[in-house]
Structure 1
Amino acid sequence: MEEKIVANDLLKIYEKVVVKGKPKKRIVTVLAWGDALQVGKKKGNEIPVRVNARFWRDGEYVSGWRDAFVSDRAKFMSKDSNEVVKFSICDVGQGDASILETPKGKRVFVDCGENKLFARYIAARYENRAADNRLPVDAVVLTHGDRDHFGGLLEIQKSEEHEKRYKRIFIDPLAIYHSGLVKRKGKKDKEAFGATAALDGRAYAVDLVDDIAEFDPEVMNDDFKRLRAVIGRWKKDARIKKRGGITIKRLSARSDGSAFDFLSGEGIDVVVLAPIESTVGGAPSLPMYLKPAKAVPEAQGEELDVNLKLSASYSASHTVNGNSIVLLVSYGNVRLLLTGDINQESEKAILDRSVTEGISLRADVLKAPHHGSSEFSTEFLEKMMPVVSVISSGDESERVEYIHPRATLVGALGKYSRVPRPIVFITELVAFMKYRGLAVPLDKKIVTQKDKRFYAHERTSYGIVHFCFDKSRILVFTHSGKRDLKEAYAIKIDRDGSASFDEVTIA
């Protein structure tokens, strides 16, 4: 057999089984455009293939090559001719985590969520890793300093010692990029990131940090102490040190562009649009952002400016969110905009800069800001005109309940799209929850009748949104409760940015 790349949008993989004495075919998995497999010679109306698949054995998942077949309608291309980039926005509940992967195997993680879901996903996607066979990750981008974006790094590291082999993942991060804002212990709002200085009536954080692992842990808050420890352990790993260590630095719109040079050889360009750095008192600095005086869903433009000026209160949360790393990824005609947790005030700053410097904000794919928060700018959406938008959100507990996504944001994503039938995915709605019946909690003391039982559901399909794209066409799809049933759309993007829907090819 010969290694080939799937050229259909979706390709169903079958195996032959015997059920009650009769030969049947059973779905094994569904591969997507750009996926690799082993292909044999056609036999009748079937083509024998081998795929690397997981199966349950002796109490855990194991992986290996599996003999299977596909329809003779399957189309393939050579590995050398593959130009399909993969981008996956993962389901991590309340948080963000995504993976960009190139045809030649370059990888970028953009945020890692807070819980163990991202670690479990990459353990399944990149199997059989070990301390002496780590997964190279060319860059880990932590868009900003909230634990629902970086806490998952700890879970990745903890997984290395998990008793179940299939839940372990070992990574080798070549670079870790962050915004430069580090939260201080016991400090609030204006003092949350160290010293500030004033410029034109606004406060700026001037104590920006490059290498988090070298910063004094005694002044960090607990979340950043844990992050520092995680990065520090990787820096001390003998194999990683021998390889050359890890580049750790902050990114801003002033960065020289070299951070993503490793992608340029495949024609992928990454522009850092934010945070927008200034120089105050001779020091690099980032703006402190205000908490709006009142929530006005329709406040835009001058009305928003007035609303912000009514507030004399700098906000640590608005500052850390507003100074998220924002990436514009371009590949031929296709453009992705990854926005972290930016808010109205920082969106206005990005808009102003785009006008001054002549930067187009057009986006074919938008990772919507801040899990679908109500604090968004319709002017910003008008400039992006996204075809496909993804909101990463999820219900976990009252502790992280912010009513995400807001109905106003979901509606606006549709209104300001440039196609008549916009595509809006919400990760928590894409997931499939299977009803399992009544359950009784085992780890909680039963006090009342109400505590004794509840309706239980199992998440059998996670709300991940997959993109496969070349320089002029995008495939986006999600899974469902059925292995062979996908929600999928294909879009052609012309050089001028016009978008048109295309047929999804399934074999």
Structure 2
Amino acid sequence: MIDNPFDAFVGSRKPVPMYDAAEEGKAFAYLLWGDGVKFEGAPGTGSRRKVTVRGRTGWVLASALDGTSLLEFYFIDVGQGDGVLVKTPSFQHILIDGGFPRDKQPSGKSAADFIDWKFVKDYGLSSVELDALISSHNDEDHYGGLSDLLGVDVTEELDADAIHVDRFYHAGVSWWTVGGKRSLGEVVEHDGERYLVDLLDDRDSALQGLDAASTRPLQGEWAKFIRRVADTTTADGGHCEFARLSDETPWLPGFDPDASDVSIRVLAPIEAEVQGRAALRNLGRSELNTNGHSILLRVDYGRTRTLLTGDLNKGAQQDILHAMAGSLLELQCDVAKACHHGSADVSLAFLQAMAPSATIISSGDAEGHDHPRPAIVAASGATGHLTVVKDEIVTPLVYSTELARSYAVGKLDRIEVPGGAAVEGDDLARTTLHYRTTKAGDLRPKKGSRKARGAYVVSGLVYGLVNVRTDGETLLAATLDEKNAEWSVRTFPARF
């Protein structure tokens, strides 16, 4: 937990303009409900107060700064993958997943860049301080950006001087080297079912898996990530704690109702005991197991519930429904992060059990998965909680980080070469542009070329970040409008 770095908070649920002058002037940015500001100088005689917010300085109406710190969810646009930062009203921070690593991203960005900005530019700190780091499962489009954040070689590219993590949580299913090949480990049979029993557990388990002399070492990029977690320290120089989560862990440690204003339930993976060992049901192919045994969290605050689902698939969802039979109301929520980027491998009954007022889909373009699938976008709306006011639909809402991302594209008409003549007109047809394209998840970019005449350049980019904020009674969802740099905001009431 960090100390509150702000002097005041925006209390208006409508975007608040920030001006470039103490009187009149032009609005150049807009603040959201719950945004924290730092005062610059003493109050003046006018209606505006000079503040710094998100690393920018300007003037805002003093009357708008009557708010309090909120529970905030940042659904980070990491392309193909997941990345969610949870910030509590008391300034605890939980980072869940981070997308592919930078070198496998078309944009060259991962969640590490957003986290770096949040702590350094927004909070004005010199280090990133995370109360918990969670890898929902062991697929690289989820843990890769976390590895970026912790990597010493990559930290040089960030503004933060240090990264501190108190606790690391994971789902247990891991990549091991067995017989020289990548494997999820031993599978045993019990009562007609097959179970995975080689589960990563605590810090000692991780260090054993990282030992070169181990008979069952951790494998590949997952091993590199676990090594980086093991090498990460807390703010006081201690070791980052390790723990495996399952439904046998009722609450995320430190976030039970008696310990925190925000409580976090752990609903999955569904754990069994087989031959005296913790086990998870074998769902079939490796990708079904890695996705299906994602950590499922429910974040409760006041009357609000938010479900964070990782890459849960149909088989896992059906197991969860079976395990929670008689208490399916526990799955109902105000906000749900869609399972597996809007994949079609989903249980309709699970969507109906969640019945969210808002669904957030984290997906990326140009990655060959065709997420989100049209039927799932439709199903997310059809199974969402319907609220109608004055003949207008308030909820359900469906957001997609991919759809919220936008590009400003301009046609190339002139190239200025240092110390030389400008290239324009007919010369563009004789000038060749060379470039590299990285598809999500690819390690090596593909080279390409084309003539400069007729080429287009990306002149601006708005990342598809989806903000969700709440005071425990009302929820706000917001995305940035690329045309005027204003926020598109929807508010709706909590249901619980």
The TM-score normalised by the length of structure 1 is 0.79
Matched, 1:4 2:8: yes
Q: Deviations for 1:98-128, whole angstroms, at most 9, x for unmatched residues?
A: 1110121100011111133211111211116
Superposed CA RMSD = 3.1
Match of 1:430 among 404, 413, 422: 404
Q: How far apart are 1:356 and its partner, in Å?
A: 4.2
Hey, what does 2:226 align to over in structure 1?
A: 228
Paired with 2:453 and 2:55, the residues of 1 have a C-alpha distance of 36
Q: Within 5 Å, which residues of 2 pair with 1:20-99?
A: 25-38=25-38, 41=43, 43-44=45-46, 46-54=47-55, 66=57, 68-71=58-61, 74-77=64-67, 82-99=68-85
User: 1:182·1:209 contact (CA, 8 Å) conserved in 2?
Assistant: yes
The verdict on how the C-alpha distance between 1:102 and 1:449 changes in structure 2, with shifts beyond 3 A counting, is closer
Paired with 2:53 and 2:226, the residues of 1 have a C-alpha distance of 36
Hey, what does 2:106 align to over in structure 1?
A: none
Matched, 1:199 2:190: yes
Paired with 1:73 and 1:448, the residues of 2 have a C-alpha distance of 55
Which deviates more, 424-433 or 34-43? 34-43
Q: Within 5 Å, which residues of 2 pair with 1:232-247?
A: 232-235=230-233, 240=234, 242-247=236-241
Paired with 2:128 and 2:449, the residues of 1 have a C-alpha distance of 49
Paired with 1:8 and 1:172, the residues of 2 have a C-alpha distance of 33
SS in 2 for 1:408: helix
Q: Deviations for 1:250-274, whole angstroms, at most 9, x for unmatched residues?
A: 1000115252437854421111110
Q: Unpaired segments of 5 or more residues in structure 1?
A: 18-22, 56-65, 290-313, 496-507
What letter corresponds to residue 138 of structure 2 in structure 1? Answer: G
Match of 2:93 among 107, 110, 116: 107
Hey, what does 1:16 align to over in structure 2?
A: 21
What letter corresponds to residue 127 of structure 2 in structure 1? Answer: R
What letter corresponds to residue 3 of structure 1 in structure 2? Answer: D
The verdict on how the C-alpha distance between 1:42 and 1:383 changes in structure 2, with shifts beyond 3 A counting, is farther
Q: Deviations for 1:465-493, whole angstroms, at most 9, x for unmatched residues?
A: 00110111001101121454211101112
The verdict on how the C-alpha distance between 1:483 and 1:213 changes in structure 2, with shifts beyond 3 A counting, is farther
The verdict on how the C-alpha distance between 1:148 and 1:164 changes in structure 2, with shifts beyond 3 A counting, is closer
The verdict on how the C-alpha distance between 1:467 and 1:256 changes in structure 2, with shifts beyond 3 A counting, is closer
User: 1:269·1:331 contact (CA, 8 Å) conserved in 2?
Assistant: yes
Hey, what does 1:208 align to over in structure 2?
A: 199
Match of 1:279 among 250, 273, 278: 273
Hey, what does 1:504 align to over in structure 2?
A: none
SS in 2 for 1:16: coil
Q: How far apart are 1:455 and its partner, in Å?
A: 3.3
What letter corresponds to residue 15 of structure 1 in structure 2? Answer: D
What letter corresponds to residue 430 of structure 1 in structure 2? Answer: A
Hey, what does 1:365 align to over in structure 2?
A: 335
Identity among equivalent positions (%) equals 27
SS in 1 for 2:198: coil
Which has more helix, going by share of residues? 1
Q: How far apart are 1:144 and its partner, in Å?
A: 0.3
Which deviates more, 328-337 or 348-357? 348-357
Q: Within 5 Å, which residues of 2 pair with 1:70-469?
A: 70-71=60-61, 74-77=64-67, 82-115=68-101, 116-127=109-120, 133-158=126-151, 166=159, 168=160, 170-185=162-177, 192-210=183-201, 211=203, 213-217=206-210, 219-235=217-233, 240=234, 242-257=236-251, 259-261=253-255, 264-289=258-283, 314-357=284-327, 360-396=330-366, 400-419=367-386, 421=393, 422-438=396-412, 440-442=433-435, 454-458=455-459, 460-469=461-470
Paired with 1:384 and 1:205, the residues of 2 have a C-alpha distance of 27
User: 2:321·2:328 contact (CA, 8 Å) conserved in 1?
Assistant: no
User: 1:119·1:169 contact (CA, 8 Å) conserved in 2?
Assistant: no
Q: Deviations for 1:220-240, whole angstroms, at most 9, x for unmatched residues?
A: 3212121122113215xxxx3
Q: Deviations for 1:321-357, whole angstroms, at most 9, x for unmatched residues?
A: 1100000111111000010000111101111122245
SS in 1 for 2:476: strand
Which deviates more, 422-431 or 156-165? 156-165
User: 2:298·2:305 contact (CA, 8 Å) conserved in 1?
Assistant: yes
The verdict on how the C-alpha distance between 1:243 and 1:170 changes in structure 2, with shifts beyond 3 A counting, is closer
Paired with 2:257 and 2:133, the residues of 1 have a C-alpha distance of 14
The verdict on how the C-alpha distance between 1:443 and 1:426 changes in structure 2, with shifts beyond 3 A counting, is closer
Q: How far apart are 1:74 and its partner, in Å?
A: 2.2
Paired with 1:141 and 1:446, the residues of 2 have a C-alpha distance of 35
User: 2:245·2:266 contact (CA, 8 Å) conserved in 1?
Assistant: yes
Q: Deviations for 1:43-78, whole angstroms, at most 9, x for unmatched residues?
A: 44x3222114546xxxxxxxxxx3x3224662514x
Paired with 2:406 and 2:328, the residues of 1 have a C-alpha distance of 43
Q: How far apart are 1:28 and its partner, in Å?
A: 4.0
User: 2:79·2:364 contact (CA, 8 Å) conserved in 1?
Assistant: yes
Q: Unpaired segments of 5 or more residues in structure 2?
A: 1-5, 102-108, 388-392, 413-431, 438-445
Paired with 2:449 and 2:117, the residues of 1 have a C-alpha distance of 40
SS in 2 for 1:88: strand
Q: How far apart are 1:320 and its partner, in Å?
A: 1.0
The verdict on how the C-alpha distance between 1:187 and 1:423 changes in structure 2, with shifts beyond 3 A counting, is farther
User: 1:96·1:111 contact (CA, 8 Å) conserved in 2?
Assistant: yes
Q: How far apart are 1:27 and its partner, in Å?
A: 2.9
The verdict on how the C-alpha distance between 1:263 and 1:226 changes in structure 2, with shifts beyond 3 A counting, is farther
The verdict on how the C-alpha distance between 1:206 and 1:401 changes in structure 2, with shifts beyond 3 A counting, is same
What letter corresponds to residue 381 of structure 2 in structure 1? Answer: G
What letter corresponds to residue 271 of structure 2 in structure 1? Answer: E
User: 1:27·1:484 contact (CA, 8 Å) conserved in 2?
Assistant: no
Paired with 2:179 and 2:318, the residues of 1 have a C-alpha distance of 27
The verdict on how the C-alpha distance between 1:54 and 1:177 changes in structure 2, with shifts beyond 3 A counting, is same
The verdict on how the C-alpha distance between 1:30 and 1:128 changes in structure 2, with shifts beyond 3 A counting, is closer
